[in-house]
C-alpha cells in the first residue's frame, strides 16, 4: 500500500502549482472507470463506461476542483472560503476547509438540499446560512459578499475549480489509451462540462490522446436554460444538483458543445429516475438523481435512433446515490414484510 497521493501531486505539471502551493489531499481523484457490458448491449453501443465520481472523498466530483481552489486560497493567505450550493459544493468546501483549518461559509437554498449533503456540511463544521430562495439567488449573494469581504469564492466561477475538475478527463484517457468517442455529462452550473472539455483538449495537445470526444451535456427538463435559450426563474427537478436556472458557465458550455461537435439537450425527471434505476440494477452503480442525467441522455438519444454501435461512450456518474436516499426509497417498489419464520419466508419465495 502507498500513501494516498491525490490530484495535486499526481497532476502537478498540469495544475497552477507554484513554490508556496501546499500539496495536500483527502484522497480525491483516481476514481473507477467501470465497463458496463450489460447496459452497452441493451443500448446497442460499442463500449460503455461509467466514471464513478461518487467515489471521491465527499461523494462527488466537486472534490477535484475544491482541493485546487482551497490550496490556492491557502497560498494566497485566505482564512475563509464561501460558496452557494445545491449541496455537493458545500459538502466538499466544508471538508477541505476542515482539513486545512479554514472557515467555510455556505449559503444554501432553504429546504432544497438533500439530507445527506446537509449532514456533511454540518458534520464538517461549516457555517451554514439557509436562504428563502433558490440556488441562483444564493449565488448572487455569495458573489456580492466575496467582492466586499476577505473571503475566497469557491464556486465553479473560481477558475481553479475547473483546473482541478479537468483531471477526471486525464484519468479517462489514461485508462482507455485515448479519449472516448462520446462523453455524456449532467449540466447544472456548467462548470464540469467546461472542465472535461478543457481536460480532453489538454490531453490532445500533450499527445496523450489522438481524438477528442463529442461533449453530450444533459439538463433536467424543468431546469434547462441552455436548451431553451433563456434563464429559468423557478427551475424545478428532482435532480437537485442540476436545479439551476442561470448557469455561471453558460457560454463555456456552449463553446464546449460547439467546438466538440456535441449537443446539450434535456431529459425529464422520469427519464432521470429510470436511468438511475438502470445503472443500479444492470451495473450495480447507485448515483444520485442528477448523476443519472448523463445515462438518461444516452438512453434518450438511442431511442431517437442515434447509432452508438462501435463507439466508445463514457457517462459520468457525478455523485453517489447515498446522499439522496429519499428519492430512491420513495420510488421503490414495496418489498415483503413477513413474520420471522422460515416456513413463511420459504412459502413467500415459492420454495415450498
Ligand X SMILES: *Cc1c(COP(=O)(O)O)cnc(C)c1O
Nearest to 59 by CA among 103, 94, 101: 94
CB of 338 closer than 8 Å to CB of 345? yes
Stretch that binds ligand X, among 125-133, 188-196, 226-234, 307-315 (CB under 6 A): 188-196
At residue 285, what are phi and psi to the nearest 5 degrees?
-115, 120
CB of 315 closer than 8 Å to CB of 298? yes
| Under rule CB under 6 A, residue 242 binds ligand X | yes
Q: How far is the CB of 162 from ligand X (least distance, A)?
A: 9
Stretch that binds ligand X, among 66-74, 128-136, 187-195, 261-269 (CB under 6 A): 187-195
Three-state secondary-structure class, residue 314: strand
- Of 71 and 162, the one with the shorter C-beta distance to ligand X is 162
| Under rule CB under 6 A, residue 169 binds ligand X | no
CB of 218 closer than 8 Å to CB of 190? no
- Of 29 and 191, the one with the shorter C-beta distance to ligand X is 191
**One of 241, 266, 278, 327 touching ligand X (CB under 6 A):** 241
CB of 166 closer than 8 Å to CB of 67? no
- Of 31 and 60, the one with the shorter C-beta distance to ligand X is 60
Nearest to 89 by CA among 52, 51, 130, 117: 117
Cell, residue 207: 499527445
Distance CA 50, CA 52 (A): 6
| Under rule CB under 6 A, residue 288 binds ligand X | yes
Q: How far is the CB of 233 from ligand X (least distance, A)?
A: 18
DSSP of 49-99, one letter per residue? Answer: EEEEGGGSTTSBTHHHHHHHHHHHHHHTT--EEEEE-SSHHHHHHHHHHHH
- The site for ligand X, by CB under 6 A, has a size of 18
Stretch that binds ligand X, among 17-25, 32-40, 185-193, 225-233 (CB under 6 A): 185-193
Q: Which of residues 296-335 bind ligand X (CB under 6 A)?
A: 318-319
Distance CA 278, CA 293 (A): 12
**One of 56, 126, 167, 189 touching ligand X (CB under 6 A):** 189
CB of 214 closer than 8 Å to CB of 262? yes
Distance CA 176, CA 66 (A): 26
| Under rule CB under 6 A, residue 158 binds ligand X | no
| Under rule CB under 6 A, residue 199 binds ligand X | no
**Per-residue contact string for residues 35-74; x = within reach of ligand X by CB under 6 A:** -------------------------x-x------------
| Under rule CB under 6 A, residue 290 binds ligand X | yes
Stretch that binds ligand X, among 27-35, 107-115, 186-194, 254-262 (CB under 6 A): 186-194
Q: Which residue is nearest to ligand X (CB)?
A: 319
Cell, residue 4: 494516498
**The three-state (H, E, C) secondary structure of 258-276, written as one string:** HHHCCEEEEECHHHHHHHH
| Under rule CB under 6 A, residue 155 binds ligand X | no
**One of 187, 215, 216, 267 touching ligand X (CB under 6 A):** 187
Residues engaged in binding ligand X (CB under 6 A): 60, 62, 88, 156, 186-192, 241-242, 288, 290-291, 318-319
Amino acid at each position: 500500500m502507498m500513501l494516498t497521493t491525490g490530484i495535486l501531486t499526481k497532476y502537478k505539471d498540469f495544475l497552477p502549482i507554484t513554490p508556496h502551493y501546499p500539496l495536500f489531499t483527502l484522497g480525491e481523484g483516481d476514481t473507477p472507470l467501470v465497463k458496463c457490458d450489460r447496459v452497452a448491449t441493451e443500448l446497442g453501443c460499442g463500449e460503455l463506461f461509467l466514471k464513478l465520481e461518487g467515489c471521491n472523498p465527499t461523494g462527488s466530483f466537486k472534490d477535484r476542483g475544491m482541493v485546487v481552489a482551497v490550496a490556492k486560497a491557502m497560498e494566497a493567505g485566505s482564512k475563509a472560503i464561501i460558496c452557494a450550493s445545491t449541496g455537493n459544493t458545500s459538502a466538499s468546501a466544508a471538508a477541505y476547509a476542515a482539513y486545512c483549518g479554514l472557515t467555510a461559509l455556505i449559503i444554501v437554498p432553504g429546504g432544497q438540499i438533500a439530507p445527506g449533503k446537509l449532514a456533511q456540511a454540518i458534520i464538517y463544521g461549516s457555517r451554514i446560512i439557509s436562504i428563502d430562495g433558490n440556488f441562483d439567488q444564493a449565488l448572487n449573494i455569495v458573489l456580492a459578499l466575496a467582492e466586499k469581504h476577505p473571503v475566497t469564492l469557491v464556486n465553479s466561477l473560481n477558475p481553479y475549480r475547473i483546473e482541478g475538475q479537468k483531471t477526471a478527463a486525464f484519468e479517462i484517457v489514461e485508462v482507455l489509451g485515448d479519449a472516448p468517442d462520446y462523453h455524456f455529462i449532467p449540466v447544472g452550473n456548467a462548470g464540469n462540462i467546461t472542465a472535461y472539455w478543457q481536460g480532453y483538449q489538454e490531453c490532445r495537445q500533450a499527445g496523450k490522446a489522438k481524438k477528442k470526444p463529442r461533449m453530450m451535456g444533459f439538463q433536467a427538463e424543468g431546469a434547462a436554460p441552455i436548451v431553451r435559450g433563456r434563464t429559468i426563474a423557478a427551475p424545478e427537478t428532482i435532480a437537485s444538483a442540476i436545479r439551476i436556472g442561470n448557469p455561471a458557465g453558460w457560454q463555456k458550455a456552449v463553446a464546449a458543445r460547439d467546438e466538440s461537435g456535441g449537443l446539450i439537450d434535456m431529459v425529464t425527471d422520469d427519464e432521470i429516475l429510470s436511468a438511475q434505476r438502470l445503472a443500479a440494477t444492470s451495473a450495480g452503480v447507485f448515483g444520485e438523481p442528477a448523476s443519472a442525467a448523463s445515462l438518461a441522455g444516452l438512453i434518450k438519444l438511442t431511442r431517437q435512433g442515434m447509432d452508438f454501435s462501435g463507439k466508445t461512450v463514457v457517462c459520468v456518474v457525478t455523485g453517489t446515490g447515498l446522499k439522496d436516499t429519499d428519492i430512491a426509497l420513495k420510488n421503490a417498489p414495496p418489498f415483503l414484510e413477513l413474520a420471522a419464520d422460515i416456513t413463511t419466508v420459504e412459502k413467500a419465495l415459492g420454495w415450498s
